[in-house]
Amino acid sequence: MDVLDLVADLNAQDDDGLGWSTLADARTPSRVRVGAVLLAGNRLARAVVRVVSVDDDEQVHFAILPGSVAKNRHLLDRP
């Protein structure tokens, strides 16, 4: 199983309908930047997401990409 880049509740949405988490929940916070494609989720669900914004208060907002993790794995920004 892939290691999560960002721990997040994929059912939680902000006022704009985007998923959200915090930089404190990132495995490598320096990789969390606008446009980054990361693996997000928790032990119950995971998805490939694109970071839309990172607020001054370190909230991370993201869009869940359509399709399965297997289908989108090649998009992940991984070293």
Residue-wise pLDDT tens digits, 48-78: 999 999 999 999 999 999 999 999 999 998 7
Stated as kind and residue range, the H or E segment containing 72 is helix 69-72
Number of domains present in the structure of the chain: 1
- Residue 26 resides in a domain: yes
Domain of 62, in residue numbers:
6-75
Residue-wise pLDDT tens digits, 11-45: 999 999 999 999 999 999 999 999 999 999 999 99
Lookup: tokens for 17 = 């309908």
d(CA 4, CA 38): 8
- Residue 1 resides in a domain: no
Task: Determine contact, residues 9/42, Cβ cutoff 8 Å.
Answer: yes
Q: How confident is the model at residue 1 (pLDDT cuts 50, 70, 90)?
A: low
Task: Determine contact, residues 52/38, Cβ cutoff 8 Å.
Answer: no
CATH number at residue 30: 2.40.240
Predicted TM-score of the model (pTM): 0.93
- Residue 48 resides in a domain: yes
